[in-house]
Amino acid sequence: MAESCLASPAKINLCLHVLGRREDGYHELAMAMQRVDLCDRICLRITEGSYVRVICEGVVLGAGEENIAAKAARLLLHEAQVVAGVEVEIEKHIPVAAGLGGGSSNAATVLLGLNRLLDLGVRHERLLELGAELGADVPFFIHGVPAWATGIGTELTTLPPLPDVAYLLVNPKIAVSTAWAYQSLRLTKGGELANLPRFSVVTRDDLCAALHNDLERVTLERYPLLAKIKQLLLEKGACGSLMSGSGATVFGVFADYTAACQAAEKLAQEYDWLFYPVRPL
């Protein structure tokens, strides 16, 4: 039985502009995204038969729903016209519904991992297209490096090297629905990509000055605790703080990993939240 175990990293949004709502129901976005070393662990096993099974302890799906990792496996097998038994075991470390892209990362990891494990030879460009069928963030994780994402998030341009920093992710154990956040956003006249300030950062101060997330307008209003967390991160030494995606995870930018760990230790003495000091990938 062939087997491969892989890390499936989380992401943070350093910048998230919502430019408008499209006729197909999606939103036109402009985002700067970076992966971090908070990772789920995914083990892929190939067996005899013709089935896909996902084992993911602690994650409960609604009636009729299928884990996105299972959809990814089925999609790739169909693309390659291969019959195989596939078992996907996911060990979750990334919080669910937290704005960190855990499900999208899992799907991308399955596509990449199965392509190698079965030696399918599906080209990188085609994997990006398959990823876009599964979810708007999936291609970013296949892309694998910091990127500027436009359209619905699937049009990717690699960013220049980002400053050497560390982040402290703070999750107050609140789950936020991405669909709710976008539906609640009161959009004014659609913005234009050309009018956005360029995401051009060289230093840590540049990065902190560029942090932006349009979804904070609705999520922080409904969950004022997140605004408190942003302030606490600044008080503990972060040069900037931002909510990632639709929340509820908030991150602070620190000079190095040691500083992020020290801030986590101080905050953990007072608050029963989830703290993840991380390094960028």
Digit-coded pLDDT (tens) for 92-101: 999 988 999 9
pLDDT at site 177: 85
Position 266 confidence tier, pLDDT thresholds 50, 70, 90: very high
For the chain, domains (ranges, CATH) are 2-158 (3.30.230.10), 166-278 (3.30.70.890)
From the CB of residue 208, how many other CB atoms can be counted at a distance below 10 Å?
A: 20
250 falls in which pLDDT band (50, 70, 90)? very high
Read off the tokens for 252: 């602070």
- Give residue-wise pLDDT tens across range 191-244: 566 566 677 788 999 999 999 999 999 999 999 999 999 999 999 999 999 999
- Given a cut of 90, whether residue 58 has pLDDT beyond it is no
Is the separation of the CB atoms in 131 and 123 below 8 Å? no
Tens of pLDDT, residue by residue over 60-88, are 655 556 789 999 999 999 999 999 999 99
Q: Does 179 or 130 have the greater pLDDT score?
A: 130
Is residue 186 very low, low, confident or very high in pLDDT (cuts 50, 70, 90)?
confident
Looking at residue 61, what is its pLDDT? 55
Q: Name the residue type at position 4.
A: S
Residue type, 244: S
> What pLDDT sits at residue 22?
78
Question: How do residues 218-231 score in pLDDT, each as one tens digit?
Answer: 999 999 999 999 99
Cα separation, 229 vs 271, in Å, equals 10
Banded model confidence at residue 24, pLDDT cuts 50, 70, 90: confident
48-84 core/surface letters (b: 16 or more CB in 10 A; e: else): eeeebebebeeeeeeeeeebbbbbbbebbbebbeeeb
226-to-99, 217, 263 alpha-carbon distances in Å: 13, 11, 17
Strands (DSSP E) found in the chain: 2-21, 27-47, 51-55, 85-91, 147-151, 155-158, 166-171, 212-213, 240-243, 250-254, 274-278
Higher pLDDT, 26 or 51: 51
> Cβ(137)–Cβ(11) under 8 Å?
yes
Confidence band of 20 (pLDDT split at 50, 70, 90): confident
The pLDDT-based confidence of 270 (bands split at 50, 70, 90) is very high
114-140 pLDDT per residue, tens: 999 999 999 999 999 999 999 999 999
**Model pLDDT, residue 194:** 55
Give the residue numbers annotated as catalytic, written as ranges. 11, 137
Strand partners, 53: 87
pLDDT, the chain, mean? 91
How would you class 38 by CB atoms within 10 Å of its CB: exposed for 0-12, middle for 13-18, buried for 19 or more?
buried
Residue 89, pLDDT score? 95
d(CA 60, CA 67): 9
Average confidence (pLDDT) over 271-278: 97
Rounded mean pLDDT of 186-193? 61
- 2 or 34, higher pLDDT: 34
Residue 90 β-bridge partners: 42
Q: What are the pLDDT digits (tens) for 125-178?
A: 999 999 999 999 999 999 999 999 999 888 999 999 999 999 999 999 998 888
| Bridge-based pairing state of the strands 85-91 and 166-171 | unpaired
